[in-house]
Homo-oligomer: A and B are copies of this chain.
């Protein structure tokens, strides 16, 4: 066991492939064979063989006459596949649309996956456009979003500690929680209310409110939320809460 820092678990060759893809994707202009070879600490012959394999499977490619490898169509297809796995049925869409109409605000459906959160669907309109920083796909900074707090609230102390250890508490605005014990208090309140609220923690001037979606087994699987201007939040809070709770209920029911 030469695990110096406990990070290199698993099949080496597999890890290499993944690291290679990451490395190539990390640079907007791609990587040359030599650069990748240095990055992965591999002999050049091996590097070329690996590149040939990836290229053969269409995961990478390069422009003719260019020596840099860039991500190819297979990666694009995979990226699309991720989104196809964020299943959104027409009833769910309808429920979310109703939330948008009731709340007069952009509405989001998120699903939880272990420590990660993916935005599965967004219902917005010209009058109530979505937050630009949010997109369909995985979301960051769980501790600063309303649906993130909902997910964290479903964890017990040990799981939360593990999460914090792995992710830390990044700060995005002046009001972001960055203190673990404050967060724990917030999560207790979330558990008590079965509702999460976030005020200018994720983006300045923005507030978000989220209600839990549960699967047939009663387990928490996601959230329905809306975002509004922070200054309007207090005046609208009551109506927003009714809307997201109703929406979350309808989505939950549509699953079982």
Q: A residues engaging B (CB < 8 A)?
A: 9-11, 13-19, 21-22, 25-26, 28-30, 49-50, 52-54, 56-59, 61-65, 70-85, 87, 112-114, 116, 118, 137-138, 217, 219, 221
Contacts and interface: CB of A to CB of B under 8 A. Distances in A.
Contacts of A70: 85, 113
Contacts of A219: 64-65
Residue of A21, A26, A30, A80 with most chain B CB atoms under a 10 A cut-off: A21
Contact of A74 (B22, B52, B112): B22
Contacts of A29: 85, 87
Nearest to A11: B53
- Quick one: copies of this chain in the complex? 2
Given A9-B56, A11-B50, A116 B73 contact: yes
A152 to B, nearest CB: 14
A28 B85 contact: yes
Contacts of A11: 13, 49-50, 53
B57 A26 contact: no
A65 to B, nearest CB: 6
21 contacts: A9-B56, A13-B14, A14-B17, A14-B50, A15-B53, A18-B57, A19-B57, A25-B81, A28-B87, A30-B85, A61-B113, A61-B114, A63-B114, A71-B82, A72-B82, A72-B113, A75-B78, A75-B79, A76-B83, A77-B138, A79-B137
